[in-house]
């Protein structure tokens, strides 16, 4: 349980602290992956792990102290292969295949509002978190299931409630449609028609088709064209059609109200420093604690494949961007404010669904 406790401590620390500095190349262009002190970068390591397979590896994560990527492996042969590639190998008991099998059984067996579960790579186990709304009976059922897997799984009680991050109109809105207020995510453009711009936000914000959206000053910015809040997804699209009166920049709000340009998108890496913005909670940064997590909100709605970050969010932050310098990473889906976790829809899935790109 010590490893799990360590992740909990990491997740609630250093909120609002600026991210570590990013290196630049000799030409002055920004690094387009997680900065490392040595060894291969994130995408290269992930390619290596994909080649080695899930049967004898346990995933990859960033060692924040050493600033190097670590690959979890289940045997010496895999360790030698990883070290030959220049990455750090760490022997673990359980493979990704084994741990993902436990998660899949949880997904098929339980639907408990107020829970989060998934594989946590540094801990090399599946961790179930049950918030304050989960009954003792449901907790006991989950505990019995988890207990049958020994050290490969654990369950924890966490404070607060696990909620999606939309809220009704109550003033101080950022973007709103008359019944819901959310946060502006990323400006995106149609790949086949670059002049056509849209706003990517959370799907639970845009599930009502045809809704007109407005800025906080009442100016119309566009209308809903897509809202995917089924099959575990949470992303939506607002067509930005008021071009004469509203300028749509491809950037996000960073520290001190300064704009950060977004140039491309990628998947986040476990352990890297990321930042989020939202109209309620503003700008904050922390590290990615886990990926591919299943979240069941207290209203019973389930989202899957989520990134979990130790950044405090609140109602109204839904749809806000998760990013690392100039890279778009995700869209705010929900939060547990007491435990200071927030949950993010990976952005690349949403971009591919709508045939759009950040810029």
Coil, helix or strand at residue 98: helix
Q: Which ranges of the chain does DSSP label H, i.e. alpha helix?
A: 2-11, 42-52, 76-84, 96-109, 136-147, 347-354
Question: Could you give the residue numbers annotated as active site?
Answer: 204, 234, 318
Query: Which of 320, 292, 319 is closest to 306 using CA atoms?
Result: 292
Partners of residue 188 on adjacent β-strands: 198, 358
Token code pair at residue 250: 């491809």
Q: Which residue has the tokens 């949470």?
A: 234
> Do β-strands 264-265 and 327-336 pair in parallel, antiparallel, or remain unpaired?
parallel
Start-to-end CA distance of the chain, whole Å, equals 43
Residue 132: how many CA atoms within 13 Å on its side-chain side? 8
Residues in the chain: 359
Partners of residue 264 on adjacent β-strands: 327
How many helices and strands in the chain, by DSSP H and E?
A: 6, 24
Angle between helices 42-52 and 76-84 (to 10 degrees): 150
Determine contact, residues 200/185, Cβ cutoff 8 Å. yes
């Amino acid at each position: 349980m010590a490893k799990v406790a360590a992740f909990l401590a990491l997740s609630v620390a250093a909120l609002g602290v600026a991210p570590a500095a990013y290196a630049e190349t000799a030409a002055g262009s920004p690094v387009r992956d997680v900065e490392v002190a040595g060894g291969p970068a994130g995408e290269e390591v992930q390619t290596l792990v994909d080649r080695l397979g899930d049967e004898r590896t346990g995933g990859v994560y960033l060692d924040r102290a050493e600033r190097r990527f670590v690959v979890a492996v289940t045997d010496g042969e895999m360790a030698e292969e990883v070290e030959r590639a220049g990455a750090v190998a760490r022997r673990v008991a359980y493979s990704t295949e084994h741990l993902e099998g436990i998660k899949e059984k949880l997904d098929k067996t339980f639907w408990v509002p107020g829970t989060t579960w998934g594989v946590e790579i540094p801990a090399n186990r599946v961790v179930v978190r049950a918030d304050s709304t989960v009954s003792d009976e449901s907790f006991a059922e989950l505990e019995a299931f988890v207990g049958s897997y020994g050290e490969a799984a654990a369950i924890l009680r966490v404070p607060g409630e696990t909620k999606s991050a939309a809220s009704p109109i109550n003033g101080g809105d950022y973007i709103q449609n008359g019944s819901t207020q959310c946060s502006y995510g990323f400006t995106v453009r149609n790949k086949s028609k670059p002049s056509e711009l849209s706003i990517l936000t959370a799907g639970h914000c845009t599930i009502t088709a045809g809704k007109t959206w407005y800025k906080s000053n009442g100016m119309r910015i566009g209308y809903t064209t897509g809202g995917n809040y089924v099959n575990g997804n949470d992303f939506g699209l607002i067509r930005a059609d008021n071009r004469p009166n509203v300028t749509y920049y491809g950037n996000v709000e960073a520290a001190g109200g300064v704009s950060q340009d977004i140039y491309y998108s990628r998947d986040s890496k476990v352990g890297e420093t990321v930042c989020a913005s939202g109209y309620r909670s503003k700008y904050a940064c922390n590290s990615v604690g886990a990926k591919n997590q299943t979240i069941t909100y207290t209203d019973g709605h389930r989202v899957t494949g989520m990134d979990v970050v130790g950044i405090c969010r609140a109602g109204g932050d839904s749809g806000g961007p998760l990013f690392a310098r100039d890279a778009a990473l995700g869209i705010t889906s929900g939060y547990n404010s007491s435990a200071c976790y927030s949950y993010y829809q990976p952005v690349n899935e949403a971009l591919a669904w709508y045939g759009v790109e950040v810029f």
